[in-house]
Amino acid sequence: MIFIFDKIKYFTDLIISKLIMNNIKYTFFLVSFFLIVGMLSAQRMSKEEYINRYKDIAIEQMEKYKIPASITLAQGMLESGNGNSRLSKKANNHFGIKCHKDWKGKKIYAKDDRKRECFRKYKNAERSFLDHSFFLTERDRYAELFKYKITDYKSWAKGLKKAGYATNKKYPKLLIKIIEENELYKYDDKNASSKYSSRKKGKDKIITPEIVYSKETDFEEIEIKGNNRKIYLNNKKKFIYARESDKIGSIAKEFEIYKWQVYKNNDLSKNDSLVAGQIVYLQKKRRKGAQKFHTFCENETMYSVSQLYGIQLKYLYKKNDMKEGELPKVGHKLLLR
C-alpha cells in the first residue's frame, strides 16, 4: 500500500515539476493522457444504461419470436460486456455471432477460440438483436428451447449451453446470475410491452395476417387427405387453404405438427388468427422465390407477397434492402431471388 502511495506521489511531483519548468512537450503529453483516460472511462456503458437502452428491443423480439426478453438481454450483456466490447462498438455485434457459411453481410475479424475468427457486422444494434432471434429460431439444434415457457429463464439458460451456443461450462450460471441480479425476469411478463416498454406502438405491424387469395389452379395439387383436404405445392413447400372453421391449433393437430411451427412457417404471431382462403404453409418457407421479380400491386403487403411466393418474410426484406415494416410503392419490382 505504501509502495502505491509512493508511486502516486512520485508521479504527481513529476507533473508539477514539469509544469514549473514550463516544459510544454511533457505537460501536453500528460494532460492529453489524462483527458484520454477520462474520456474512455466516461464512454463505458453501465449495466443499467445497457438495460434501459435495449430492453424495448428485447421485449419486441420476445413478442415476435418467443425468446425470453431476460435471456436476450442477459446474453447481450454477457457477450458484449454491457455494450463495451470491441465487437459491439465496431460491428454492433452484441451476441458474438460468427459469420458461418450462410452469412453474406459485412464482416469483422477478432480473436476468440482462434486468433483470427470471422464475426458478423451489423448496421446497428437492433439488427444484431434481430439476427440473434433468427439465429435461434432457424437452427434445428435450438428447437427444444421453444418447448420451455417464456418465464422459465433457467431452462433456457441451460438449454442454450446444451445446444452448443457457448463452450464455457459456467455459461448458464452466468446468465442466470445476470438475470437475477438485474431482475431481468420481469421483462418476460406477457404484458411487458405495456408495463416496461418506452416505445410508442406504431400503426403498421411488421407481421400481419392479411388474406392471401389465389386461384387453386395456380398451384400444383399433390395430394388429398381425409376430410377432402387438398394439399398444394408452392416453391417446393406444402401448403393448404384455410377454411372458415380452421384455427392454428386444429391445423397443427390435423397435420401432426406443433402450433409454433404453424406460426413460424407463416410468419404469424400468437395474436393472429386465420381467415378463410388464406394460404397456410405446413413447412418452413424458403429463403428465395422460384422467379426473379414481383411487381408490387395495390392492396398488397410484404407479408402477402411472402406468402404468395413461399418466401420467408425476413428474407424478402433483406433481399430488397428494406427495413421491417416498410412498404414499397405500387409498381416497384421486388427481388425474390
Residue 151: pLDDT over 60:
yes
Average pLDDT of the segment spanning 222-230:
81
Last residue of a domain, one of 131, 162, 196: 196
pLDDT of 39 reads: 46
pLDDT 10s digits, 260-282: 999 999 999 888 888 878 899 99
Residue 216: pLDDT over 70:
no
Domain count, the chain: 3
pLDDT of 300 reads: 81
In DSSP notation, 79-124 reads: HHTTTTSHHHHHH--SS--B--TT--S-EEEE-SSSSSEEEE--SS
Amino acid type, 290: A
Does residue 192 share a domain with residue 55? yes
Does residue 239 share a domain with residue 142? no
Domain span including residue 64: 47-196
When comparing pLDDT for 63 and 24, which is higher? 63
What is the separation of C-alpha 295 from the centre of its chain, rounded to a whole number of angstroms?
29
Does residue 78 share a domain with residue 12? no
Does residue 96 share a domain with residue 36? no
pLDDT 10s digits, 273-312: 888 788 999 999 999 998 888 888 767 888 989 999 999 9
At 243, which CATH number?
Answer: 3.10.350.10
Asked if 83 and 47 count as a contact pair (C-beta separation under 8 A), the reply is no
pLDDT of 245 reads: 85
In percent, the amount of the chain with pLDDT more than 70 equals: 80
What's the pLDDT band for 28 if we cut at 50, 70, 90?
A: low
Does residue 60 share a domain with residue 33? no
Does residue 179 share a domain with residue 113? yes
Residue 168: pLDDT over 70:
yes
- Within a domain: residue 203? no
- Within a domain: residue 121? yes
pLDDT 10s digits, 87-98: 999 999 999 999
- Within a domain: residue 204? no
| Residue 304: half-sphere exposure toward Cβ, Cα within 13 Å | 17
The Cα-based distances of 114 to 97, 118, 178 in angstroms read 15, 10, 27
What's the pLDDT band for 198 if we cut at 50, 70, 90?
A: low
- Within a domain: residue 201? no
pLDDT 10s digits, 235-259: 999 999 888 888 999 999 999 999 9
- Within a domain: residue 202? no
Residue 114: pLDDT over 80:
no
Query: Which residues fall within 8 angstroms of residue 8, CB to CB, at 6 or more apart?
Result: none
Output b/e per residue, 123-153; b: 16+ Cβ within 10 A.
eebbbbbbbbbbebbeeeebeebbebebebb
Does residue 229 share a domain with residue 148? no
What's the pLDDT band for 31 if we cut at 50, 70, 90?
A: very low
- Within a domain: residue 206? no
Helix (H) or strand (E) holding 220: strand 220-225
Query: How far apart are alpha carbons 154 and 336 in whole angstroms?
Result: 40
When comparing pLDDT for 227 and 147, which is higher? 147
| Residue 35: half-sphere exposure toward Cβ, Cα within 13 Å | 6
- Within a domain: residue 210? no
pLDDT of 218 reads: 60
- Within a domain: residue 207? no
Does residue 156 share a domain with residue 241? no
User: Cα angle vertex 88, ends 86, 90, to 5°?
Assistant: 60
Average pLDDT of the segment spanning 121-138:
88
Does residue 72 share a domain with residue 32? no
Asked if 92 and 124 count as a contact pair (C-beta separation under 8 A), the reply is yes
At 77, which CATH number?
Answer: 1.10.530.10
pTM attached to this predicted model:
0.52
Average pLDDT of the segment spanning 35-59:
75
Does residue 127 share a domain with residue 97? yes
Does residue 7 share a domain with residue 83? no
Does residue 191 share a domain with residue 101? yes
